[in-house]
């Protein structure tokens, strides 16, 4: 196997849940990034603590790459069942590294297989528990990283452990390293990828961390949630951040309590959010309506996974767009952001708080499992450019919380800031916040709330066009499919195609119609069964995408999969 420079090397680690695949991948991506390689890492895993087979893909490249690929150049198989789990992705060019006890005879005939005593080396290091560290060392040996760097890193990640455990992990990593290095020295596997000097100054993050950092940068100081995968990662990140920041973190007894706490926090002057997934958000819907009627802001991070009900709780899908769009009874405005890159996640999370504050509405940050769990490198943001916009008003004695205004936005006061009474009510109300059944006033209040949509539409983020402006075929995507579509189009190099990506799906920017009208053929790519965004485009602009490329088996699209489908589109 000879991997020349400027190529992308795809490494897949596959094994049983409980074998420490996350430990292996975390060691690899962080050390390879430090060494100067561009990294992308994504994972797929079963919904169980032990048993079943999971896999993680690490793409190592001399150039930036941020999309899932089907190909496997190197397979590190930690269990015999790993072979069948990824069998469709194994080719004759795949180099398989596995323990002698895990050899699958069928695959040894089809591929180059390198039998290494991984389990025995782990036992030599102290016990079978060190199998993951041995495995990580083996891959690092292929890249011939400086052993001093490996030793220092292992010491750091196990600094809370005893000296004995730290040393055993170092020994385990070096034993694996020597085995991997032998494969290179014997020319069994040869890797040559140029390093990227610019990687040094970049930050390695996953989607969960980028969303969380964006929310903290926006001044988020309260989060209340009930754990539900894959949204739990944001709650966990914020809990850790509470040790060094002013954020208050509350694990509520259920999702109903969580969203009501967040609304109450905004009422008192905090900047609050919830994080959840589809099943948990279903319980929050009455709270969304409460936010709409109270005109009290709330930011909702909705992390999508396949449904209905429990569905596939650890897989990915874009199946909750309509849930976010139509959630809550009654009619009131909202905004839905759908980041497609780490930078967008960071920036849109900040914007969500400012827009929620300005327009006094619920704002959604819609993500999915694939996006949240994927790692890549990002340029550090200039924190000094972050603008936390607060729209709280100091109240006068005659303050009216729901004053009728031309824009539909009433001045928002909070208790204790000024001399006025901040009265809010979930019933229909008059300008001072008291309950009313005056039907004429009811109409005025509904119109006032909906009036905000005009300004929200003008302030909506336009979609981004990638590729030639003289396109005939327009590929449409939203959210996490950004980089996968871009990489697929790059691989087929068709000048008649362009990619229109949406990072905001509601309300849609009016310029969308111009992009759609300029195309002879429109193609939409979505991870759901009914083309939910395609339906929204048709509803908004009367244009139904001609071709729908849909995937809803719980896995993301791959570069190769979309490249093949795009290639079959006629010019």
Q: Is 385 exposed, middle or buried (0-12, 13-18, 19+ CB in 10 A)?
A: exposed
Same fold, 2-201 and 464-567: no
**Rounded to two decimals, what is the model's pTM?**
0.96
Pick the CATH number of 2-201 from 3.40.920.10, 3.90.1150.10, 3.40.47.10, 3.40.228.10: 3.40.920.10
Distances, alpha carbon 450 to alpha carbons 85, 312, 334, 406, 413, in Å:
51, 36, 10, 12, 20
Query: If DSSP states are collapsed to H, E and C, what string results for 144-173?
Result: CCCHHHHHHHHHHHCCCCCHHHHHHHHHHH
Q: Return d(Cα 297, Cα 273) in angstroms, integer.
A: 9
- Nearest residue to 321 via CA among 340, 334, 302: 302
Burial of 200-237, coded b for 16+ CB within 10 Å and e otherwise, reads eebebbbbbbbbbbbbbbbbbbbbbbbebbbbbbbbeb
| Contact criterion met (CB below 8 Å) for 291 and 265 | no
Q: Return d(Cα 429, Cα 223) in angstroms, integer.
A: 28
- Banded pLDDT at 383 (limits 50, 70, 90): low
Q: Return d(Cα 131, Cα 168) in angstroms, integer.
A: 11
The pLDDT value recorded for residue 70 is: 95
For residue 2, pLDDT beyond 60:
no
DSSP string, 494-556: -TTEEEEEESEEESPPTTHHHHHHT-SEEEEEESSSS-HHHHHHHHHHS---SEEEE--SSS-
The pLDDT value recorded for residue 279 is: 97
Domain boundaries, the chain: 2-201, 204-385, 392-459, 464-567
The pLDDT value recorded for residue 384 is: 62
The pLDDT value recorded for residue 51 is: 77
3 state DSSP class of 29: helix
3 state DSSP class of 28: helix
Mean local confidence (pLDDT), 547-571 = 96
3 state DSSP class of 41: strand
- Banded pLDDT at 440 (limits 50, 70, 90): very high
Instruction: Determine how many CB atoms are found less than 10 A away from the CB of residue 21.
Output: 25
The pLDDT value recorded for residue 5 is: 45
The pLDDT value recorded for residue 571 is: 76
The pLDDT value recorded for residue 102 is: 83
Q: What is the mean pLDDT of the chain?
A: 94
Query: In the CATH hierarchy, which fold is given to the domain comprising 204-385?
Result: Rossmann fold (3.40.50)
Mean local confidence (pLDDT), 295-322 = 97
The pLDDT value recorded for residue 143 is: 95
CATH number, span 464-567: 3.40.50.920
Mean local confidence (pLDDT), 260-284 = 98
Question: Among 98-102, 287-291, 475-479, 550-554, where is mean pLDDT lowest?
Answer: 98-102
- With tokens 């102290």, the residue in question is 126
The pLDDT value recorded for residue 542 is: 96
Q: Return d(Cα 409, Cα 526) in angstroms, integer.
A: 35
More confident residue, 159 or 296: 296
């Amino acid at each position: 196997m000879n991997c020349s420079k400027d190529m992308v090397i795809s490494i897949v680690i596959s094994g049983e849940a409980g074998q420490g695949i996350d430990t292996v991948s975390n060691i690899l991506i962080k050390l390879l990034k430090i060494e100067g390689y561009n990294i992308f890492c994504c994972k797929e895993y079963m919904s169980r603590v032990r048993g079943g087979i999971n896999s993680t893909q690490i793409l190592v490249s001399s150039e930036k790459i941020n999309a899932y690929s089907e190909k496997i150049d190197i397979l590190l198989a930690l269990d015999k069942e790993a072979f069948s789990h990824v069998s469709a992705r194994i080719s004759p060019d795949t180099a398989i590294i596995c323990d002698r006890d895990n050899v699958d005879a069928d695959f040894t005939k089809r591929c180059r297989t390198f039998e290494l005593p991984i389990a025995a080396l782990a036992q030599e290091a102290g016990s079978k528990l060190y199998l993951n560290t041995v495995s990580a060392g083996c891959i690092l040996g292929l890249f011939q990283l400086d052993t001093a760097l490996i030793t220092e890193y292992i010491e750091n990640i196990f600094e809370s452990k005893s000296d004995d455990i730290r040393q055993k992990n170092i020994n385990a990593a070096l034993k694996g390293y020597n085995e991997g290095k032998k494969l290179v020295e014997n020319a069994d596997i040869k890797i040559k990828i140029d390093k990227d000097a610019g990687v040094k100054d970049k930050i390695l993050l996953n989607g969960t961390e980028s969303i969380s950092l964006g929310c903290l940068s926006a001044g988020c100081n309260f989060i209340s949630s009930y754990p539900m995968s894959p949204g739990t990662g944001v709650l966990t990140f914020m809990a850790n951040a509470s040790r060094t920041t002013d954020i208050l973190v509350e694990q509520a007894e259920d999702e109903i309590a969580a969203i009501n706490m967040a609304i109450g926090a905004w009422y008192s002057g905090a900047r609050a959010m919830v994080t959840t997934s589809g099943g948990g958000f279903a319980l929050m819907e009455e709270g969304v309506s409460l936010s709409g009627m109270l005109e009290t802001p709330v930011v909702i991070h909705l992390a999508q996974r396949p449904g209905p009900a429990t569905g596939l709780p650890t897989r990915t899908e874009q199946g909750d767009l309509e849930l976010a769009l139509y959630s809550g009874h009654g009619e009131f405005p909202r905004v839905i952001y759908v980041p497609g890159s780490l930078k967008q996640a960071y920036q849109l999370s900040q914007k969500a708080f400012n827009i929620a504050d300005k327009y006094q509405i619920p704002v959604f940050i819609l993500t999915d499992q694939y996006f949240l769990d994927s790692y890549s490198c990002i340029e550090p943001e200039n924190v000094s450019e972050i603008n936390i916009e607060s729209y709280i008003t100091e109240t006068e004695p005659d303050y009216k919380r729901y004053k009728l205004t031309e824009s539909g936005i009433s001045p928002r006061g909070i208790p204790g800031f000024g001399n006025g009474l901040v009265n809010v009510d979930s019933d229909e109300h008059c300008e001072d916040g008291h309950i009313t059944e005056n039907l004429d006033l009811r109409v005025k209040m509904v119109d006032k709330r909906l009036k905000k949509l005009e300004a929200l539409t003008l302030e909506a983020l336009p979609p981004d066009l990638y590729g030639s402006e003289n396109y005939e075929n327009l590929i449409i995507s939203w959210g996490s499919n950004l980089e996968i579509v871009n990489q697929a189009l790059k691989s087929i190099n068709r000048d008649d195609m362009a990619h229109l990506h949406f990072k905001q799906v509601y309300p849609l920017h009016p310029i969308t119609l111009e992009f759609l009208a300029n195309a002879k053929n429109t193609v939409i790519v979505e991870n759901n069964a009914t083309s939910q965004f395609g339906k929204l485009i048709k509803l908004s602009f009367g244009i139904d995408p001609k071709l729908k490329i849909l995937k809803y088996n719980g896995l993301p699209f791959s570069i190769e999969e979309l490249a093949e489908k795009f290639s079959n589109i006629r010019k």
